[in-house]
Amino acid sequence: MSAAKLGELVSRLNVANQQALATEWEVIITNALANVLPVANELVLNGPRNLDVMFTLPSGGRIVADICAISDESLDRDNPTLSLTEHLSRRLQKRGISGKFGIAIGGYDPIRNPDRSRPRKRLKLPDADQFAASIFDTSFDDFLKRIRDDPSGTHRHSVDNEKASLSFVYSPGHGSLSFRYPPYYLADDLVRNPVHQALKMKADQIKDVVADAPGYIRGVILCDGGCKSFDQTSGGFAHHTPGQIIHRFLSKRTSVDFVCMVGVGHEPTLFSTTHGLSFRALVYSPRKPELAIDLERIFEGAFNTLPRPIRSGQNAYHFLKAVSRSRRYYRDSYSTGSVMSHRSISISLRAVLDYAAGKLTKEEYEKLAGVDAVERLKRFLDLGHSVTSIQIQNAGATASPPALRDGDFAVINFGEPDPAVSPFTVPSPK
């Protein structure tokens, strides 16, 4: 990879948005594959574009593929449910109101989305800049006033106008917010959905690049960049699964030989029998079924060389949105918890260093390290036990079976009490 391309990749990784998540997937997949077989990236064949990866199967087939992460970003922009909860929370905080709130959106407004390349459904909810006029008007202020005057009662408020159809319910109790709305993210059309749109875009690019270079097996590696329907395995009367969309796409497009869906799921999975999160891959290739088997086997081995993921694509998508809104970089990859034995304590190394440097408060440090571990550490020190050694151990070393993970533990080993900082005692019998 050229220095210019590498600089571009690093710049994309350092921006807290969906593009960063797509770039992470590109790095993850390229690195994983390169751990098990020779991989060429940014492959130049024909045309103005490059393809992301090329590698050769043990059977001799030459694979070229482009990596793409799909998200609900455009759907969420059309259906600003998160913005609605943020606007509501600010109004409640300003008036000092706390309790149980429920929001229900009445249905869809299909007329407002004439673009045939985008999904047909849109919730009956205005754009965020119209919330004040369409939802949070004087009647909503009266609703909040009723709550303040009678916080022990149950109160309801409905909005039903040209742009919005929703209802609010307040009941006394611990502060919480529940949200109900129709599943706008489910695909009710085999073409107008994020999965098909991403595949079409990549297929057009692959066709331009590989058209005059025969002998290659062409594919799209489709990653979960925050798509709610990505893991959906069963369809319904009114919606389609990603698998059904991919099968339909491959039946119409001969320029693509396979589609590989890569995501993060809860175990047990194809690749492991332990609990937690793991990478997983599912390959579709109806014209070359033996290719799907070979590729899934390669991805299984490739992902086993990586640390375990710490969140799903959907959670990573929302995490990056939270970072971009608050302009904070959340401390995230600490090895939380602790491991204690008779004379040793294992605590997150990053937590120890950040606490020592003043980057963590005492409360944050105790939450990461565990209150019991902090109390045990304090007891060792109060009794004057000397530190005999400090080791650095990968957080996955104590797992069963051991597994490589992001983050390390500082393993602090204690010896006998040090007479310089503890009371004199009768030596233990040898």
Query: Is the confidence at residue 327, as pLDDT, over 50?
Result: no
pLDDT tens for residues 136-154?
Answer: 999 999 999 999 999 999 9
Region 401-423: what's the mean pLDDT? 76
The confidence band for 116, taking pLDDT boundaries of 50, 70 and 90, is low
Quickly state the pLDDT bin for 404 (edges 50, 70, 90).
Answer: low
Confidence of residue 398 (pLDDT cuts 50, 70, 90): low
Looking at the DSSP assignment, which residues form a beta bridge with residue 265?
278
pLDDT band at 234 (very low <50, low <70, confident <90, very high): low
Instruction: Please state, in angstroms and rounded to a whole number, the distance separating the CA atoms of residues 167 and 106.
Output: 8
**Residue 93: count of CB within 10 angstroms of its CB:** 10
Rounded to whole angstroms, the maximal C-alpha distance in the chain is 87
Q: Which of 4-8, 81-85, 237-241, 313-317 has the lowest mean pLDDT?
A: 237-241
For residue range 21-73, what is the model confidence (pLDDT) as tens digits? 899 999 999 999 999 999 987 766 665 567 888 999 988 889 999 999 998 88
Closest C-alpha among 283, 250, 224 to residue 21 = 224
Write out the two tokens for 316: 């990573």
What average pLDDT is seen over the chain?
A: 83
Contact 67, 206 (CB under 8 A): no
60 backbone φψ class: left, alpha, beta (φ>0; ψ -120 to 50): left
Q: What is d(CA 399, CA 409) in angstroms, rounded to the nearest whole number?
A: 13
- 308 compared with 324, residue with greater pLDDT: 308
Tally the residues of the chain.
Answer: 430
pLDDT band at 1 (very low <50, low <70, confident <90, very high): low
Decide: pTM greater than 0.85.
no
Q: Is residue 273 pLDDT above 60, yes or no?
A: no
- Return the exposure string of 246-255: e unless at least 16 CB atoms fall within 10 Å of the residue's CB, then b: bbebbeebee
Q: Is the pLDDT of residue 292 over 60?
A: yes
d(CA 184, CA 180): 11
pLDDT at 198 over 70: yes
Q: Which residues pair with 223 in a beta bridge?
A: 69, 262
Q: Which of 192, 193, 147 is nearest to 170 (CA)?
A: 147
Q: What is the pLDDT of residue 139?
A: 95
- Residues of the chain above pLDDT 90, percent: 37
- pLDDT at 279 (0 to 100): 93
Which two three-digit tokens encode residue 149?
């005057």
Which pLDDT score is estimated for 77? 87
What average pLDDT does range 71-80 have in this prediction? 88
Place of tokens 């690049």: 209
Q: What is the pLDDT of residues 358-370, one digit of tens each?
A: 888 888 888 877 7
